Chain A
Amino acid sequence: MVTKVYIPRDSSALAVGAEKVAAAVAAEAKARGLDVEIVRNGSRGLYWLETMVEVATEQGRVAYGPVKAKDVPALFDAGFIHGKPHALSLGLTEEIEWLKKQQRLTFARVGITDPVSLEDYLAHDGYKGMKNALKLSGAEIVKTVTDSGLRGRGGAAFPTGIKWNTVLGCESEQKYVVCNADEGDSGTYSDRMIMEGDPFVLIEGMTIAGVAVGATQGYIYLRSEYPHALAVLNEAIEVANKAGYLGENILGSGKTFKLEVRRAAGAYVCGEETSLLESLEGKRGLVRFKPPLPAIEGLFGKPTVVNNVISLATVPIILDKGAQFYADYGMGRSRGTLPIQLAGNLKQGGLVELAFGATLRELLYDYGGGSASGRPIRAVQVGGPLGAYLPESQFDTPLDYEEFAKLWAVLGHGGIVAFDDTVDMAKMARYAFEFCAVESCGKCTPCRIGSTRGMEVIDKITAGKDHAKSITLVRDLSDTMLNGSLCALGGMTPYPVLSALNHFPEDFGVSSGGLSSEAK
């Protein structure tokens, strides 16, 4: 009998030796004359346990991790292919508390299926959403997405259905669906995990979007730093084309949707939707003025849906189980679930999908297990390099778009980066300006010049030169950038800068009592 062994092909698993583990398992099985089929799945998202090897048994899948290639012979000796105990045994995967407590909707299949097997996808509820969508009118599909309460998971949190409705309402011989897969925020990797672990769900989501708004061509704008995601996506697109799930006359519906992956080229600003469109058109990624909205004049001047990977990958389950099913998760105006990415100085980094409403503290300690260094967690940055730094006193904030906005913070793409007490927050503020200077597209002055001047002012502050004046100056400069920048890059760089200054004034040589009245 063939035994199925699962070894991830996810980038982060590969980063800690999954390829070597897979080779060792294959070699050892051959040497022992055992019939083993290795499935290269996505990651379950328990990254501190990667490489996590699973074996299919009659009781269910049994996990072992973190496995190194050198552990493989001993695993065979212990009888791991029958799920027998070993020091690295984690028991039944589905019973692992960390995983069991989650509410995986968008990530329902990631780590479970073979990412490029269409049969596997179909066997795990794949394409059910699209089959429902093909029976509906465009307006009905859009209404379902609107009613689900899904908001853009890229960071801006704009209601997805409303965006689609604008494109639906435009008359045009050509419309486009563009997936923003330029996941450049530090601390985020959920887009990558979907693309590497369940690419068909993204393909399905984009196809539904195309069918809904009447777009026949889709592009996935993928960052160049993700070569493994590129390979998986292209493999999956080829499979979908051959099986009639992409291309002309999809599943006999008469609808056409073609899909192509386009590689970005290492410019952070191209994650901004108008800059992304310029880049797709073959130009420098300069931010466009809005209006016109991309929904009305987008790619090549045509009406275009631009959505993040997670937004699009969430559409299939909404069309499968209904708007209400999805909307029943969450709190306030943040409906559904958020795939949260734990990163930085945490013992147990990984992917946690939960309904909106969990607190930072739960995520950092219950899931994250506290800092990796064993030192106290002093600050966390939520929402990427343009997100605010939060101090311990704000760790009880629930993850909810509006609750974060009240603190002058953002949820962004759901990345949480933890820092221990060795962090120098003035340095992090300087880095925020530096990053903005490196990545600015240069179109607007506050971002292009302000970022470099900001770095210089922080240097003055840390050197103690014109200290009080420089503190005033950095606030004044931040105000200009906030209100005068063309896009979120310049416009949100003040979030990390001012939150660092407000919450950690001692790192800027300011006594903590001296700033509270100025704190935003």
Chain B
Amino acid sequence: MSDLHTTQETSAVIDALIKKHQHQPGALLPLLHAIQDTIGYVPESSYTAISKALSLSVAEVHGVVTFYHHFRTHQPGRHIMQICRAESCQAMGSEALEAHAKQCLNIDYHQTTADGALTLEPVYCLGNCALSPSVMVDDEIYGRVSPSELDALIAEAKSTEVKA
């Protein structure tokens, strides 16, 4: 894995985001979102700068990043596929869909395919419960997803270089 987060470019991006958000009340979550939206994850190397700007300890920043399922500390694959595990989707066969995805991709949850194309994550409800089972790829949601439709989503994700 490349040490992208140590590059000057990345730390300049993070510094700019810190400046933009640090004076907001309750700035930490908006700032972490901004960092992850921009570079794909929240590098641990950014904790010190964040903690100084917000008058927090590094431990507090680490605590917040790791408390929330949404934040990642490592670069994910080019696309992120989330499969809903909640009750409504279970009632419509999401367990089989999960198993199918893991088998096709040859990875488990929280892992990335060997070609770096796709990271698989569980999610607990996408609010699409009338059309379960649901899957989200990056910011796009899909309903009534069958295993063959999942195959198509995987194929599409693998064939595209960057987020749509």
Interface residue tally of chain A, by bracket?
35 or more
Contact yes or no, A187 B129, CB < 8 A: yes
Partner of A385, one of B33, B64, B86, B128: B86
Instruction: Tell me if A158 is interfacial: C-beta within 8 Å of chain B.
Output: no
Residue in A187, A345, A372 whose Cβ sees the most chain B Cβ within 10 Å: A187
Instruction: Tell me if B16 is interfacial: C-beta within 8 Å of chain A.
Output: no
Partner of A282, one of B54, B86, B136: B54
Closest chain-B Cβ to A334's Cβ sits at a distance in Å of: 23
Contact yes or no, A187 B131, CB < 8 A: no
Partner of A268, one of B124, B136, B142: B124
Instruction: Tell me if A463 is interfacial: C-beta within 8 Å of chain B.
Output: no
Closest chain-A Cβ to B96's Cβ sits at a distance in Å of: 11
Tell which of A12-20, A130-138, A402-410 binds the partner: A12-20
Contact indicator per residue, chain A 252-267, by CB within 8 Å of chain B (1) or not (0): 0000000000111111
A192 and B134 CA atoms in complex are apart in Å by 15
A16 and B27 CA atoms in complex are apart in Å by 36
Residue in A11, A186, A266, A441 whose Cβ sees the most chain B Cβ within 10 Å: A186
Contact yes or no, A12 B128, CB < 8 A: yes
**Chain B, Cβ-Cβ closest to A217:** B25
Residue in A12, A15, A372, A435 whose Cβ sees the most chain B Cβ within 10 Å: A15
Instruction: Tell me if A395 is interfacial: C-beta within 8 Å of chain B.
Output: no
Instruction: Tell me if A423 is interfacial: C-beta within 8 Å of chain B.
Output: yes
Instruction: Tell me if A209 is interfacial: C-beta within 8 Å of chain B.
Output: no
Contact yes or no, B130 A341, CB < 8 A: yes
Contact yes or no, A282 B29, CB < 8 A: yes
Partner of A15, one of B67, B89, B124, B142: B142
Contact partners of B64 in chain A: CB under 8 A = 282-284
Contact yes or no, A417 B129, CB < 8 A: yes
Residues from 146 to 190 in A contacting B, C-beta threshold 8 Å: 183-189
Contact partners of A415 in chain B: CB under 8 A = 88, 129
A350 and B139 CA atoms in complex are apart in Å by 22
**Chain A, Cβ-Cβ closest to B143:** A15
Instruction: Tell me if A98 is interfacial: C-beta within 8 Å of chain B.
Output: no
Residues from 45 to 79 in B contacting A, C-beta threshold 8 Å: 54, 60, 63-64, 67-71
Instruction: Tell me if A502 is interfacial: C-beta within 8 Å of chain B.
Output: no
Instruction: Tell me if B92 is interfacial: C-beta within 8 Å of chain A.
Output: yes
Contact yes or no, B33 A263, CB < 8 A: yes
Contact yes or no, A439 B90, CB < 8 A: no
A192 and B86 in contact (CB under 8 A), knowing A263-B29, A282-B28?
no
Contact partners of B130 in chain A: CB under 8 A = 12, 47-48, 189, 341-343, 346, 349-351
Contact yes or no, A344 B27, CB < 8 A: no
Residues from 104 to 141 in B contacting A, C-beta threshold 8 Å: 123-132, 134, 136, 139-141
A122 and B121 CA atoms in complex are apart in Å by 42
A47 and B131 CA atoms in complex are apart in Å by 7
A435 and B125 CA atoms in complex are apart in Å by 12
- Number of residues of chain B lying within 8 A (CB) of chain A: 42
A31 and B71 CA atoms in complex are apart in Å by 45
Instruction: Tell me if A412 is interfacial: C-beta within 8 Å of chain B.
Output: no
Residue in A265, A381, A423 whose Cβ sees the most chain B Cβ within 10 Å: A265
Contact yes or no, A285 B144, CB < 8 A: no
Contact yes or no, A50 B131, CB < 8 A: yes
Instruction: Tell me if A90 is interfacial: C-beta within 8 Å of chain B.
Output: no
A191 and B134 CA atoms in complex are apart in Å by 18
A28 and B142 CA atoms in complex are apart in Å by 25
Residues from 1 to 46 in B contacting A, C-beta threshold 8 Å: 25-30, 32-33
A183 and B124 CA atoms in complex are apart in Å by 11
Partner of B70, one of A188, A265, A431: A265
Contact yes or no, A344 B68, CB < 8 A: no
Contact partners of A325 in chain B: CB under 8 A = none
Closest chain-A Cβ to B76's Cβ sits at a distance in Å of: 14
Residues from 313 to 371 in A contacting B, C-beta threshold 8 Å: 341-346, 349-351
Contact partners of B142 in chain A: CB under 8 A = 15-16
Contact partners of A225 in chain B: CB under 8 A = 123, 125-127, 136
Contact partners of A187 in chain B: CB under 8 A = 86-88, 129
Query: Could you name 25 residue pairs across A and B whose Cβ atoms are closer than 8 Å?
Result: A11-B128, A11-B141, A14-B140, A48-B131, A185-B125, A186-B86, A188-B127, A192-B127, A224-B33, A225-B136, A228-B141, A264-B68, A265-B33, A265-B68, A266-B68, A266-B69, A266-B70, A266-B123, A282-B54, A284-B64, A300-B26, A343-B129, A418-B91, A428-B87, A428-B90
Given contact pairs A12-B130, A185-B125, a sample of 14 additional A-B residue pairs in the complex whose CB atoms are under 8 Å apart: A12-B128, A50-B131, A186-B129, A187-B88, A264-B70, A266-B68, A281-B25, A282-B54, A284-B67, A343-B88, A343-B129, A344-B87, A417-B88, A428-B90
Top 10 closest A-B pairs, CB basis? Answer: A349-B130, A186-B86, A282-B28, A343-B129, A265-B68, A15-B143, A344-B91, A266-B70, A47-B130, A266-B69
Residues in A lying within 8 Å of B, measured CB to CB: 11-12, 14-16, 47-48, 50, 183-189, 191-192, 224-228, 262-268, 279-285, 300, 341-346, 349-351, 372, 381, 385, 415, 417-420, 423, 428, 431, 435, 438-439, 441
